[in-house]
Each structure stands twice: as structure tokens, then as C-alpha cells.
Structure 1
């Protein structure tokens, strides 16, 4: 049996990225946010689809293209049904698709607020187990790894840096400045807590 205390953190961003666009009504650049609605137009057997955004200041709308002049036979049935029914889960996924949004907007406002759901995959089997955290990203986020650890484990960034320099905190995949980069899906973080006075408190915060 492994003695590692293994937990999974499922990370979900709370606020969708907002494009900054020229608002005709405000006559200035303003942030736009997803309305939770789609628009679907048909031209014969070809369809156009958009995700509707609203200006945060005046409620003007912007239609973010999802696809244009797409033949109905080339559209995934699940996608088509989601567009026809304004499926909330599908719309949320598209709203958080940062790479897709970058194709349609130059300036994008990102947010680091996340919800973290913690699950124990392997309970501690000894009094001083190493802690291993595996990250599961429901969607991309700009939250940096060191900030995530600081928030969820109650560790200062200075202490995180000390543990890393001592070889007692590592990430996989590793790399230069890995802790100062945004969290990645399936990233694993291992922390050796042997001898730490607040070891039990950290382990408690790591789990649900």
C-alpha cells in the first residue's frame, strides 16, 4: 500500500473571461460578459451560430461567432441540440474557452477566482506521509500554481519557495518557474511535510 496521502483537486473557474470591445452605445471600450444565450440562424441547410455577450455597462450585445455557414450534416448532434435548447453546461464550456475567445477579441480580461473540490484518492497510512495533489482542471484558468497552494493550504509564498528550494516541494511536469505559471490539467504536486510543526493542519486543508 502506498504511504502517500493522495488527493485530487478539481478546479473550476468562477468567472468567465470577458472580452473588451468597442461599445457603440457607450462610445468606448467596455468589458462584455456572456449572457447565457445563443443565437442560431438557418439559411437553407446551412447554419450560423453565435454566443451572445452583453456590455457590462449598458447591456448592448455582441454576437461571438461559433460557426458560420456550416452545413447541418457537418454539425455534431450534441452541439446542435445544445444550441437549440440553450444548454447551460455547453454554453458555460464555450464561455470559458479562452483560446476560442482570443480568435474573436484582442483584449481579454481574465479572472483567477476558482472553486476547488477536494477528493481523497488514497488516505494517509502513516503519521508523516508525503502529500501528493493531482489537479483536475474542468476549464483553463490563469490562476498560478503557487497562489493556489497558498490559498488552499494556508502557506505563504515565501514558505512555498523555501520548500521548493529545499527539494521538498516538486511538480510534475516540472520546469523553470513551474510554480509561478498557471495551473495545468493533470499536474501533480508533491510536498514532503516530515518534521513540519503544522503538518496535520496542512494535511487537513488539503482534503475535503
Structure 2
């Protein structure tokens, strides 16, 4: 994660703010349970490693939220023992929380194993932004650095509504009039650090 204080911003913008998407928990793993009607699972915090000669299978164990049934997600299948980093293997064998966290949030693993991630309730937005009159006719230019503690895919519009405490229509109007300048579409989902700018609209600029 980069230091927002060292990020280059336009010379006319000297006010900065930091927004941080804080982690509240890991996403739910959404896949059908074979024992009940639930489709929500959470990691048990454990792995199963099976050796067959020099080949390894590694599974992450997950638990149904409703009935408690344990099932598994394939992480490595029939991989040669020498092809797997020794430190990574030890993490699996020791049920290291860091690798549990990493794999639970891994969108590539989710796509490979045909399940999806539910990020609801996993984050909150912290800002160091005091009262700021974004809707004022000529607001003080501001650079906002958005940092993610976890790669939760969040619609940019929702971040703006939460961070500036504005309605959806107000946020969309500010973007349409050029008051909010974004590096992506307002309907896009962000999951990585980015910077946005709040500036006076064209009608407020001197002739």
C-alpha cells in the first residue's frame, strides 16, 4: 500500500483526504450445500493435505452456515511435491491463518471452483474527512485517496455516497457536472487503491 502523502496530485489541489476500506470479516463462500438448502459457507480455518507418492492434493475446508456440514475446495490437485513452495506447504500443514485469509478472498480460486464470494458485511469506510461543502458553488479542491485493506469489489457510486454522505442523485449530478473526477466509471466496482478529485465545476471557474 502506497503512502497517500507522496502521491502526485495536480498543483492546484493542496488539500488531501484518506479513505480506508476497513476489513470487518472474510466474504462468505456461496455454493450449494449437499445436506441442506443453504448456499453460504465459511472457512473452518483448516486444510487437508493428502500425499500419494510424490504427488499432493490440498483442500481448504469450509463449513455450511446453516447445518454445519464440512466440505472442501481444491487448492492444489495432483501437484508434484517439488513444485510446491516448501514454505507454502508448511502453511497448509500448519493451518496458517494468513493463507486461509488469502484463499478465502481469492476470486481466481472462486472462478476455478465455480462458486462466488459474498462480500456483504465485510467492510466499512473510514475517512479523515471533516465537514466538506462538496455541493458549495466553489468548493476547495480536494484529492481523495481511497485505500483497500481487503479486495472487496465495491461500486464507486456507493463509496462516494458513503464517503461524502450524499444521496445517489447528488453524487451522480456532481460527477456529471465535473465536480467529481474519477479514474473509472461511477458504476464500476473498485477493489484496489485509487485517487479521485473534488474540484470546482466549470461554471465556477474564473473567465
TM category (shorter chain) comes to: 0.7 to 0.9
| Matching residue of 1:99 | 108
* 2:92 matches 1:90: no
How do residues 16-165 of structure 1 correspond to structure 2 at under 5 angstroms? 16-23=27-34, 25-26=35-36, 28=37, 30-106=39-115, 108=116, 110-113=118-121, 114-116=123-125, 129-165=140-176
> What TM-score, normalized to structure 2?
0.75
Deviation at 1:12, TM superposition (A): 4.6
Q: In the alignment, what sits opposite 2:16?
A: 6
Residue in 2 that maps onto 1:204: none
- TM-score with structure 1 setting the length: 0.74
1:188 aligns with 2:195: yes
- Mapped to 2, the partners of 1:188 and 1:77 lie a distance apart of 38
Give the Cα–Cα distance (whole angstroms) in 1 for the partners of residues 148 and 159 of structure 2. 12
Q: Secondary structure at the match of 1:21?
A: coil
Question: SS at 2:182's partner residue?
Answer: strand
CA RMSD of aligned residues (A): 2.6
The CA distance in 1 between the partners of 2:29 and 2:68, in whole Å, is 14
Paired position in structure 1 for 2:179: 168
CA deviations 1:95-144 (Å, max 9, x no partner) are 011231122124x3522431345579xxxxxxx64222223334332321
The CA deviation string for residues 49-80 of structure 1, in whole angstroms up to 9 with x for no partner, is: 11111111111111100001111211123321
Structure-2 separation of matches of 1:86 and 1:118: 34
Number of aligned residue pairs: 180
Please tell me whether the aligned partners of residues 26 and 101 of structure 2 are also in contact (alpha carbons under 8 angstroms).
no
Structure 1 stretches of 5 or more lacking a match?
Answer: 121-127, 195-208
